[in-house]
A = this chain, B = another copy of it.
Amino acid sequence: MPNNQFKKGELYSFITGKASTAIARRLQKKFNAAGLNITIEQWSVLYHLWKQEGISQQELCNATFRDKPSITRLVDNLEKLNLVKRVASESDRRINLIYLTKQAQKLQEETMALADETLNEALITVPADKVDICKEVLQVVYDNLK
């Protein structure tokens, strides 16, 4: 059995993503404690818009690994919070380009600091070379399945 390192007791946490769930919950609590009224999912959309704004919803789907209805509703909620604006593309009227508001631009520094802090807490006892291997394995898993 090639690469079947998963005995029954170990299989569960890999599939359910216990570790990433724990990281996301911790970060959400930090957002709440800081009075930041956004969800992790909304933050993950903003994260990509901070790298490049004015992209389409479809590009956000690809970047965040979500389907179109999920992005439609996340953008709906981000618009309600006055964090993004939909702007119809002039060259292709099917497309919405998504832009950040000034309010959203202000969130970047604080939320990224909280995210760094969360990962440092998660990995405080883990040597750097093991973290690198872990990141590498997770990337390969994603590439193998996407």
> A10 to chain B: which residues have CB within 8 Å?
135
Chain A at the B interface: SS class: helix
On chain A, which size bracket covers the interface?
Answer: 35 or more
How many chain copies does the complex carry?
2
Q: Which of A113-146 contact B (CB under 8 A)?
A: 115-116, 118-126, 128, 130-142, 144-146
The answer to whether A20 touches B14, judged by C-beta atoms less than 8 angstroms apart, is yes
Query: A3 touches which one: B11, B128, B134 (CB < 8 A)?
Result: B128
15 contacts between A and B (CB under 8 A): A3-B124, A4-B119, A11-B119, A13-B138, A13-B142, A15-B24, A16-B40, A16-B44, A17-B24, A19-B141, A26-B145, A123-B144, A124-B144, A125-B144, A131-B137
